[in-house]
Chains A and B, each alone.
Chain A
Amino acid sequence: MLPEELQDKLEHDIAAVDHPKELAVDVMFALQDHYGYLTDEAVETAAGLLGIAPVEIEELATFYTFVYREPVGKYVIHVCDSLLCMLDGSETIEAHLHQKLGIGAGETTGDDLFTLLPVCCIGYCDRAPAILINRKVYGPLTVESLDAIIDRLRADKD
């Protein structure tokens, strides 16, 4: 069950638009923020709110990069591996993250803090090599500056 406040907000937003389906991505994002990822229950809930079949939500959920159908960590790290970041060392950045976090691409750390996802060009080529952490950009990175960022997030948790 959704908290009443979130339920009301989403119902209100949906009632305010001409076509409920146009809010499908927003609703998925809101439920994902609430549950941590788009759970099976969230798929059902989204479909119910929008008045469509769950499969219509699934069609979208499986398409988009930023919708997660499996649990992710508190911090989702998107590592850009497209051309400009690659030329400026994204492979080193990614390898360092594997080693520092002890996880591979697509995996989450045992303490549920970090998930590592390689992605295509994030539009910060002037700051290569760049990554996003929960959609906030960091770059140009060095191994040292990356260490500092990860250490800070780890410390924040306590």
Chain B
Amino acid sequence: MTSYPKVLLQNRKPDRIATIDEYRESGGYTALTESLGKVPSADVRQTIQNAVLLGRGGAAFPAGMKMSTVPEDAPFPRYLVCNADEMEPGTFKDRVLIHADPHQLIEGMVLTASGVQAEKGIVFIRPEYESAARILEREVGIARDAGFVGKDILGSGFDFHIDVHRSGGRYICGEVTAQLNALEGRRPNPRKPPPFPTVKGLWDRPTLVNNVETLCCVPHILKNGADWFKHLALTETGAGTKLYCVSGKVNTPGCFELPMGVPLREIVETHAGGMRSGGTFKACLPGGASTGFLPKEHFDIDMDFEGLKAVGNRLGTAAIMVFDESTCLVRVTCNLIDFFARESCGWCTPCREGIPYIKDLLWRIENGQGEVAYLDMIDRMARHLWNAYCAFAPGAAAPVQSLLEYYRDELMAHIEGGSCPFDK
């Protein structure tokens, strides 16, 4: 097996978390020691921008650029929120990161905060990750005792505190603006920008929200430089390593740290142990439930943001859900649309009405009561989802629209045969 450098998961152990000492032995907290109070925040932002670190939470927004949208003269206190909601089906990398090496995230938060002069840090975490929440609370305390978090960190004059906020549990809380409402104790419906959170976020103060994995990259970038980070990727267009969560019809599902841009075939055949029970690759969802099906003709694609964009898809959270020839993709889409129907926040009509409508028609097809006319009806409604209030509904449309585009034959087989052809 080709072996690649491990960065984010270099301290991962099979059965326990890495301690602060183990993190420090691997070079942890050197970036913080060397830059806090010494490197101007503009330089911190510039280095992250030069590294082309794209947001790992699904939207791939350039992290350095987002930091720069906090106005120079913005009021205080400023907030940094670490998004550990991770409710995208198939995605569990943020849980792995927190359980493997919590101090990497803590250092990443302090350094990112120093780049925008934020003094309050919050980790927003889903209730299913109670053990991760407890790990973070304990390790933040340890970091505070060591002088890496809290008041006047290492004598630099910079203050930064970290609190853990437990969510009550809903997928929409992962969306930035809904998360701000949740943190303020309001019903977490999204708020449409402007104002953007980096200008007016929590309690009307500038608030930077980043994904766990994005923040974990920051100490390494500041320690080793932007060029080093860019060269970790296998592709020209990529940068860094990526945590790929592979699940579904593979032999060894799991979370693998690989260079950004590694080919899909290699991920499936080498790192995830190949297809289960000798099956053949039929398709995958390349980046969570909110991405479209990637059909088998793209099995050799380079898995980075640009590579997937080029074929009209998205890398999303890089949660790769693999399906083989025995998987019914209509049934898969029914399950996904059930998820979206349940988790819609109900705020706007296209999403609240449109998703159950598609769900009803798709299930009829799956159950052998479909009609050809339904395909256009589903298609029309999926387009309406793009007019919804937030990005949730377009996410729900992605698997549906790609099912219509690539697997019309499979839909037709259900309709014409009057039953699911995959049921034995």
A binding-site residues for B, Cβ under 8 Å: 18-26, 28-29, 50, 52, 56, 59-60, 63-67, 78, 81-84, 86-87, 120-126, 128, 132, 135-137
> Which residues of the other chain, B, contact A123 by a CB distance below 8 angstroms?
86-87, 91-92, 95, 126, 128-129
Contacts of B315 in A (CB 8 A): none
- Decide: A121 and B249 in contact? CB cutoff 8 A: no
Q: B171 at interface (Cβ–Cβ under 8 A)?
A: yes
**In the docked arrangement, what's the CA distance between A123 and B130, Å?**
12
Enumerate chain A residues within 8 angstroms of B127, measured Cβ to Cβ.
65-66, 135
A103 to B351, CA, bound (A): 32
The complex places the Cα of A26 from the Cα of B168 at a distance, in Å, of 9
CB pair A84–B126 under 8 Å, yes or no, is: no
Contact flag A19-B90 (CB < 8 Å), given A67-B168, A83-B335, A123-B128: no
Contacts of A126 in B (CB 8 A): 92, 245, 247, 253-255
Cβ-closest 10 pairs across A and B:
A64-B168, A21-B185, A24-B185, A65-B169, A121-B89, A125-B247, A66-B169, A59-B187, A135-B130, A122-B128
CA distance A135 to B168 in the complex (A): 12
Name the residue in B127, B128, B169, B186 with the highest tally of chain A Cβ atoms < 10 Å from its Cβ. Answer: B128
The verdict on B166 contacting chain A, using a C-beta distance below 8 Å, is yes
B336 lies within 8 A of chain A by Cβ: yes
Q: Which residue of chain A has its CB nearest to the CB of B285?
A: A83
Whether A86 touches B335, Cβ cut-off 8 Å, given contacts A66-B168, A123-B129, is yes
Asked if A83 meets B321 with Cβ closer than 8 Å, knowing A64-B169, A65-B170, A123-B126, the reply is: yes
B187 touches A60 (CB 8 A): yes
Known: A22-B183, A25-B168, A125-B92. A84 touches B87 (CB 8 A): no
Q: Closest residue of chain A to B253, judged by CB? A: A126
Binding site for A on B (CB under 8 A): 86-92, 95, 126-131, 165-171, 182-188, 203, 245, 247-249, 253-255, 289, 319, 321, 327, 332, 335-336, 338-339, 342-343, 345
Chain A residues with Cβ below 8 Å from B168 are: 25, 28-29, 60, 63-67
- Which residue of chain A has the shortest Cβ distance to B92 in the bound complex? A123
Structural contact, A125 and B183, CB atoms closer than 8 A: no
Q: Given the complex, which residues of A lie within 8 Å of B247, measured CB to CB?
A: 84, 125-126, 128
- Given A23-B185, A63-B170, A66-B127, the answer on whether A82 and B321 have CB atoms closer than 8 Å is no
Residues of B within 8 A of A122 (CB): 128
Contact between chains at B321 and A25 (CB < 8 Å): no
Question: Within 8 Å CB of B131, what residues of A?
Answer: 136
Pair A63/B188 contact, Cβ less than 8 Å: yes
**Given A66-B127, A135-B128, are A26 and B184 also a contact pair (CB < 8 Å)?**
no
How far is the CB of B395 from the nearest CB of chain A, in Å? 14
Contacts of A86 in B (CB 8 A): 335
> Which residues of A lie under 8 Å from residue B167 when comparing CB positions?
25, 64
In Å, the complex CA distance between A23 and B163 comes to 12
Chain A neighbourhood of B86, CB < 8 A: 123
Contact assessment for A120 and B343 in the assembled complex, using a CB-CB cutoff below 8 Å: yes
24 contacts between A and B (CB under 8 A): A19-B203, A21-B185, A26-B166, A29-B168, A60-B185, A63-B170, A63-B188, A64-B170, A65-B170, A82-B339, A83-B335, A84-B89, A84-B321, A120-B339, A121-B90, A121-B289, A123-B86, A123-B126, A124-B128, A125-B90, A125-B247, A126-B254, A128-B247, A136-B130
Contacts of A29 in B (CB 8 A): 166, 168
Instruction: Tell me, rounded to whole Å, the shortest Cβ–Cβ distance linking A12 to chain B.
Output: 15
Q: Name the one of B91, B166, B338 contacting A25, with C-beta atoms under 8 angstroms.
A: B166
Would you call B166 and A121 a contact (CB within 8 A)? no
**B residues less than 8 Å from A50 (CB atoms):** 185
